């Protein structure tokens, strides 16, 4: 508990250094979250815009339309496609434009099963 308290407020670099000094790779809180997600059959995907990057929690095995529905039911109802890039590919590329130029962004349809690390932009249309 004392280590977790010390980790609060540290930069990522300082936290990593502190954990390493104890011979630990991951904080107890991070371990708890990871194990809880696994036990409950959950995973996350990301959306990224100019103002916000956000993680969304879904059940493992969720399709792209189901994942879109977590954001808003209209996204699921009017689902057209999902533009997807793997998180690691995006970080390696540096930005969305570079990932696209490298052919790392792909379009997936209704049957696509979401994977951990997907960074997604949903295409949808809702008619009234």
* pLDDT tens by residue, 89-115: 999 999 999 999 999 999 999 999 999
Checking if the pLDDT of 77 tops 90, the result is yes
Whether residue 4 sits in one domain with residue 30 = yes
Whether residue 60 sits in one domain with residue 25 = no
Whether residue 46 sits in one domain with residue 33 = no
Parent domain of 4? 1-40
pTM of the model: 0.80
Q: Domain containing 97 — which CATH number?
A: 3.10.20.30
Q: What is the pLDDT of residue 43?
A: 96
Residue 126 banded pLDDT, cuts 50, 70, 90: confident
Backbone phi, then psi, for 56, in 5-degree steps? -120, 140
Mean pLDDT calculated for residue range 77-81: 97
Instruction: Give pLDDT tens digits for 10-55.
Output: 888 888 888 888 888 888 888 999 999 999 999 999 998 888 899 9
Whether residue 108 sits in one domain with residue 84 = yes
Q: What is the pLDDT of residue 51?
A: 87
The structural domain count of the chain equals: 2
The Cα–Cα gap between 17 and 9 comes to: 14
């Amino acid at each position: 508990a004392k280590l977790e308290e010390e980790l609060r407020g540290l930069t990522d670099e300082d936290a990593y250094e502190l954990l390493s000094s104890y011979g630990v790779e991951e904080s107890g809180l991070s371990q708890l979250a990871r194990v809880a997600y696994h036990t409950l059959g959950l995973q996350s995907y990301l959306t990224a815009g100019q103002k916000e990057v956000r993680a969304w929690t879904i059940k493992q095995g969720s399709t792209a339309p189901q994942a879109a529905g977590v954001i808003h039911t209209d996204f699921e109802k009017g689902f057209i496609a999902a533009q997807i890039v793997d998180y690691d590919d995006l970080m390696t590329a540096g930005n969305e434009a570079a990932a696209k130029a490298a052919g790392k962004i792909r379009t997936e349809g209704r049957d696509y099963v979401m994977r951990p690390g997907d960074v997604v932009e949903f295409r949808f249309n809702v008619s009234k």
